Structure formats: C-alpha cells, structure tokens
Amino acid sequence: MTPDADLVSEHARSADLDPDRIRVVITLPTFRRPDHLVMTLDSLQAQGFGHDTAVVIMDNDAAGLEGAHAAADWLTGSRLKGIAIVAHQRGNCHAYNAGWETALAEFPKLTHIAVIDDDEIAGPDWLSGLMKTAEKTGADLVGGPQIPVFADKALDGWRKHPVFTPHYQVSGLVPILYSSGNVLISRPVLDIMPRPYLDPAFNFIGGGDSDFYRRAKARGFAFGWSAEAAVMETLPSRRAEFSWLNARSLRNGAISAILEKRQWPGIPGRARTLIKSLALLAAAPVRGVRLGLETGSAVIGLYHIQVAVGRLMAEFGLVNEQYRNPESN
C-alpha cells in the first residue's frame, strides 16, 4: 500500500538506490534536529552496511523542513542509500507510520525494519546485534538499550533515574518491549498488524509504541532483547530538571493506566485499573524510600509515587501531552 500523497511526500532519494536489492530498512524520524540528524546518519554509515541496507528519513516538520534538507544533502554524498520523506501530519505516531509504510511500498524484498531516533548515535554493533538476537531467539521484534548521554557530564548521575534505565540487562527472549527508539521489526509483524501501526491517539503523550507492542503480543509475536545493540541517546540538560522528570514520570503512569484500560475494557476493566492504581499508590512510599536509598537521590525516590499519581490523574482525563511542545521536551 502506497502512503497517501497528501499525507506523505518524497523530498529526496539517492540517485543510485536500487529498491530490489534492499532487505533491511532503517527508519529515522526527525523533528527540528538537523545537526544531530547528520550525526545519527554518520553513525549508521560508519557501520559499513552492504548494498542490502537503506535508510528512510521521516521529517515531521512540514513547515520548516530542516531535517529533510539536511537529509537530502547527506544522501548526495553517502555510501548508505535511502529516501527522505516528509510526514505532513504532526505527531510521532504519524512519522513512524509514514516511514514504515514507505519502506514497505518502496522495497518489495524487505525482511526487517529497524528504528533509531534523531537524538541517538548507533553503537558499532547496533544493527548486527539486533539481527543476531533475532536469528538466535526467533523473536519477531528485538529491542536494545538506549544509553543516556547528557550534554553536561556533571549530570550523569541522573542516568540512575528509572526513566533512563534500560528495561532489561541480558540478551534473549523477553516478555515485551516498551520503546521504539531502538528496535528491529520483522516483515511478518508489518504484514499482519493492522494499519495505522501506531495509534495517532498517542501522538503527543507517547506510548504509541507500547500500545503497538501489546497488540502484537496479543497476536502471538515474540520479543527479544539485544544488550549489545546499544544506541547512545543525547540528552539536553533540561531532562535532569525536576519539572521534566516529574512530567515524564506522571506521563509514564498515565500511559500505563490508558493501556490497561484498553486491554481490559468496560466497567470491570476500569475498576480493575483503578484498584491497581490505588494499590500502587499505597505501596509507593516504601518502594520510593528503597529506590532513594539505592540511588542516593530523594528526587529519584519520588518516581513510584509520581507514576501512581499519574495513573490516577489519567482516570480523570488528565494526561500531560509532553510532546505537544517539543522545544520544552
């Protein structure tokens, strides 16, 4: 299925791109980070991919097009071939959907899609690590760690905060994934899952990836983790500020409640979610003290309370759209 031309348009492509040779496509959403986008692309090219790998860059700023212009310039001189597109509808779910749809439409022999974000740098074994874990475990979707790297090294202590901590430490099969910032997805998942892949309802709050994974798990797909397939996520100093950490923690709680209500619909399901939220709130002080002692930070220790409060706020429709104003994110 070709993406709707009114919603997705092509901005540039490598002159000698041969779609029939491509088996793996790296999709790279971008929004007003042209300089870091080039750094991300450079880190991909440094891995020495063969002619069976391409990149699709999705600029989600149809007005400014900084990412699209930077990608077009980069593609003219790169060994890694690809396409730069513009996703005209604002929102990260729209950007991801545009990239995945374009990859499927452009590359008929595609076997896998990988995802990296425009604030990340691929480690030397990034894609090979994801692919090896998929082959070894048979997992349909494989994730890897996003290692936080603060621009101000004095803030590295905040890497202990749960919002920055990888969900798993050891490679192998895992129950489920949570982030789309570092993931490999096999073709059968894309062929079977209904479209749009990521629900636009999550465009500005986040969680569209978690919702997608839950639905994929319900259809029987398996998940894996590759500890070797790391990306380094560049973090601005504001992400160590209490206001940002509080907003992200509350948002995490809200997303968990929203996803559970989708999983357990109706009045019984809502009651079940509310009871769980109240139970988590009751347990949060003890868990918080333990976390604060482990990390040496009272602010980090607040995380479990913030998550529980965020879940309760979601019961009343109070969800922070943290991605609505990207400059403050």
Residue 327, pLDDT score = 66
List pLDDT tens digits, range 284-295. Answer: 999 999 999 999
Are 208 and 257 contained in the same domain?
no
Whether residue 142 sits in one domain with residue 70: yes
Clarify whether residues 74 and 159 are in a common domain: yes
Structural tokens at position 13: 């492509």
Model confidence pLDDT, tens digit, residues 188-202: 999 999 999 999 999
Domain boundary among 193, 223, 238: 238
Nearest Cα residue to 113 out of 10, 197, 205, 9: 197
Q: Are residues 205 and 312 in the same domain?
A: no
Indicate if 322 and 275 belong to the same structural domain.
Answer: yes
| Beta pairing class for 223-225 and 141-143 | parallel
220 with 198, same domain?
yes
* Full DSSP string of 70-97: HHHHHHHT-SSEEEEEEE-S-SHHHHHH
Overall pTM > 0.85: yes
- Please report the pLDDT score of residue 263 as a whole number: 86
Residue 257 contacts residue 315 (beta carbons within 8 Å) = yes
The CA-based angle 159-288-144, given to 5 degrees, is: 35
On whether residue 81 sits in a domain, the answer given is yes
Residues 268 and 322 in one domain: yes
| Residue among 97, 34, 81 at smallest CA distance from 61 | 34
Examine the fold and report which residue of 212, 238, 264 is the final residue of a domain before the chain moves on.
238
Helices marked H in 8-125: 34-45, 66-76, 92-106
CA distance 143 to 219: 18
Q: Is 2 among the domain residues?
A: no
Residues 286 and 272 grouped into a single domain: yes
Kindly state whether residue 290 falls inside one of the protein's structural domains: yes
Q: Tell me what pLDDT residue 3 has.
A: 76
Based on the fold, state whether residues 248 and 298 are members of the same structural domain: yes
Is 82 among the domain residues?
yes
Question: 325 pLDDT exceeds 80?
Answer: no
233 and 282 belong to one structural domain: no
pLDDT value, residue 33: 96
Same domain, 141 and 168: yes
- Mean pLDDT in residue range 146-157: 91
Residue ending a domain, choose from 220, 238, 256: 238
> 95: domain range?
8-238
Q: Do residue 226 and residue 286 come from a single domain?
A: no
Domain of residue 69, CATH code: 3.90.550.10
Question: Is residue 1 assigned to a domain?
Answer: no
pLDDT (average), residues 303-320: 91
* The amino acid at 51: H
Number of domains in the chain: 2
Q: 25 forms bridges with which residues in the sheet?
A: 54, 113
In this structure, is residue 26 part of a structural domain? Answer: yes
